[in-house]
Structures are given as structure tokens and as C-alpha cells.
Structure 1
């Protein structure tokens, strides 16, 4: 399943049907995953995060329902888990007005504990603002107490993050915006390799309620199953009260992590 190419006509696609061979009869219930702006904010494989969540839900015995939200779509009801990716400055400009129009809905979901994963460009726009290196300001929706300033310095390469919640997180960064955290928010972790939020404080990403924000692409979740299962467990517990884990196949994730850990910066 791939998102439509930029500029093509698009209808809201609520309730993707999975191929029959990937759709065992659900025994534990369904989870609705919403990807924000896959048409414009889907760089460096970020769409893969939604696909990983869907597959791991199946392994855990739950039925995933993948939804998309693009500019101009009706926002779906009863969303259990939200993911959003990165994009160039041009992509942020395309979505900014629509995102601001959905600020109250997304804020309500966030404050109510809906698990969310926001990467790079949407991480920035979930904050207060992104000020480009040319001085223009793209306002954010203010869920996260962070602000981002564009710079001439490009932070690029493989990253290893030490997280108190999730252990070692592996990914890849490529951004010139540098983000600083306010007093009301904690980092996702500290960088053992790579840069992270900015070139000065050694922090990467942000954690607030059940939101995980990060600069790490790759996509992030295939190499970090503990992070994937946190999002899934939280979504399931909020909807059904308890989470009954299955037996995910982590063999490829283990190999990917071993390979990623060996790659130079």
C-alpha cells in the first residue's frame, strides 16, 4: 500500500481494506490508525510507520484499519492512533492552514491521551512555530512546548538515542531546523550518536502525554519494535481496557537494528 503521488486527485480513504491474506478474522477487536497528510508529509519512508503498526497489530491479534487525512478531507471520527511524517518546507506550507483548522480536534485528542507519533516536519508543526532561515514563520498548533528555527547547518546521518522508556532507539536524521524544548516537555532521549533536536544540547525528540515526537526517519518503527508496541498497547488499552499481546516476529527488526548500529555517522 503506497500513498498517491503528489498532485494527483485524491478522495478520503477511510477504512482501507487489507488484502485477504493479511486479514485473519479479528479475535480481539480493531484499531483505527490515522496517518496525517501522507500526500505532502511522507519523506524518507515515513509512510512505513503506519504499515509497521498495522502489521504488528495483526501479529498481536487485532484488526488494523488504516485511514488517511489530507488537506481538505473530512476528519474521521473514532481515531485510536495517529501518525504523521516529515516533509520539506514546501510541504509544511501546503498543510499549515488546514493543520491550524484542525488544531482544536488534535489538541483534544492529545490531551485525552490518544497515542501519536509525529516525525520531523509534523513534530515541528505540533510545536509553537517553525521560523525558516529566511525569517518567515510557519505557525504550529502548540500541542508541544517546542519551537524550531531554520539554520544553514544541516544535521544529517545515522542516530542512536538512549531513551529511559524505550532503550536504544535507532534512526536517521536529515534536517536544518533546530528545535528546543520548553520547560513543560521532556526529550525522547539523549543522543549517543548523531545530533537530534539541535546541535547544542544532545537531546532528541519529545515526549508529552502519549505523544512521541522525533526527527528520526528510516522509517523509524521497523527498527524500534518497543516503540511500536508502546503506541499499540496504549491505543488498545484506551479502547478496550486491557491489552493482550501476541507473538510478533521481530527477526527482521533485530537484523535491521544490528545493521543500523554498525553504520557510521
Structure 2
């Protein structure tokens, strides 16, 4: 059994190195002896058959605008995949494009794919947090944030976690979780710096496919190196938040 990983718009939405999210997932599965097929989708391409995992990263406002028509074309299929339980991981602008809509100004709103309930207002002053920390079911998620948006979701839609340091959605939470779809403002890339979240996503995807994902000593060695990078960011948190 081969696990299919699809990245959407890597040429447009990789501003903060979010292509590393796909790389992290693929690397961790291959360390577990799982066969993985990688796909990249660009505007106008033909999509592969239903993937097991979809990733999408962040980009500039101009990049988002240029993708509006293609996102609208893909919206029904992306919503169908999400409802079917396909794992989707969306960071930054990709998260916003997969919401209901993105507002760039009083008279400029583009529709999103509708995977996540809620809308992004991308006309706010820029937010940069060097050590962005989110408490979640997967432990402390750490990374950076760099965006000009607030995200207003539906009250019954679960966030990915509560912000310990930074802004996130703008209401004390970050991101959104719908079915097996996860949206966040975490960069770093997020799935490189947060192996527990990466393993959770892999577990969801491999479980649906009937494939066993078993960590090895190579995962442990990799995660020890990751922990060094995590510790640098964790040590930058305000003193009240100095715990991993």
C-alpha cells in the first residue's frame, strides 16, 4: 500500500518554508518503511486520485489573489475530501484560502474552499511572533507566526489549540480542526518542529489506509535534533511559559 501526499500550490505558497511540512511527513513515513508517493499541484493541473494527505502553505496577498479562481474550481472536491476524512494540513494563507472567504479590504473579498467554517480578514497590521506557542492535545506546539490576518470561526468549530504566546486567530485560540483537516498559523515549518502533531496526522492517514505506522530508533534520533531547535524557541517565551 502506497500513501499519497499532495501539496497544493508549492510555487505560490511556500513563503515560510512550509514545503517542509510535506517533507517532514514523507520522511517520517519512509523511516517507518512505508511507501510514499509525492505529488505537487499547480494551477490548472489535473489532480491525482484521492490522496491520503494534502498540505498547503502560506504566501503573499498577491499570490492568494492569483489563486482565487483555481481555489474556487477545486472547492467542491477539497470539501468532499475533507468530509471523507482525508488528512488536510493548511498553514497560514493556505488555512485562510481553505476557509469560507478571505478579505483584503473593504471592497475586496475572495471566496475560499469552505473546508473550514469561518473567514479571514487579511487587512490587519502585520503580526510577527518569533516564538509562537500553542497549547494543544499534542502538547506544546512551537514555531513562528507571520501574517496580517484574524480568523473568525464558528463557535462549535474546535481550534487546534489555545495560544500561550502570540496572536493566532486573534481571540486566544489558533487554527481550526474539522474532521481530519487542520488549519493553523504555525510556521517553522510546523510539522518539522512538532513531531507529535506530524505523527498524529500520519496516524490518521495510515489508519484510514489500513497501514501500520510504527516509529523506530531513527525517529527518536531525528526528534532529539528537532528538540534542540524547539528549545531555542521555547527559551524565548516569556518566563511564565518556560515549560515544554
TM-score of the pair, normalised by structure 2: 0.91
Does residue 205 of structure 2 align to residue 235 of structure 1? yes
Paired residues in the alignment total 233
Match of 1:186 among 143, 149, 158: 158
Match of 1:210 among 174, 180, 200: 180
CA contact (8 A) 1:33 1:64 kept: yes
Per-residue deviation, 1:134: 5.0
CA contact (8 A) 1:34 1:68 kept: yes
Per-residue deviation, 1:63: 1.6
Structure number having the greater helix percentage = 2
Match of 1:251 among 206, 224, 233: 224
Give distance in 2, aligned partners of 1:147 and 1:257: 30
Does residue 194 of structure 2 align to residue 224 of structure 1? yes
Per the alignment, residue 139 of structure 2 pairs with 167
Give distance in 1, aligned partners of 2:156 and 2:73: 24
Per the alignment, residue 30 of structure 1 pairs with 2
Give distance in 1, aligned partners of 2:204 and 2:122: 33
SS of the residue 1:103 aligns to: helix
Give distance in 2, aligned partners of 1:97 and 1:256: 38
Residues 28-69 of structure 1, C-alpha deviations (whole Å, 9 max, x = no match): x32110000101111110011111111100112202211000
Per-residue deviation, 1:244: 3.6
CA contact (8 A) 1:188 1:214 kept: yes
CA contact (8 A) 2:14 2:57 kept: yes
Unaligned runs of 5+ in 1: 1-28
Residues 105-158 of structure 1, C-alpha deviations (whole Å, 9 max, x = no match): 111110000011001111111111111135300111212111111334221112
RMSD (CA atoms): 1.4
Does residue 229 of structure 2 align to residue 260 of structure 1? no
CA contact (8 A) 1:197 1:203 kept: yes
CA contact (8 A) 1:34 1:67 kept: yes
SS of the residue 2:20 aligns to: helix
Give distance in 2, aligned partners of 1:173 and 1:133: 21
TM-score of the pair, normalised by structure 1: 0.84
Per the alignment, residue 69 of structure 2 pairs with 97
Give distance in 2, aligned partners of 1:152 and 1:236: 39
Residues 56-111 of structure 1, C-alpha deviations (whole Å, 9 max, x = no match): 00112202211000101001003110000011111111111111111111111100
Give distance in 2, aligned partners of 1:186 and 1:212: 10
CA contact (8 A) 2:99 2:114 kept: yes
Q: Structure 1 segments of 4 or more deviating over 3 A? A: none
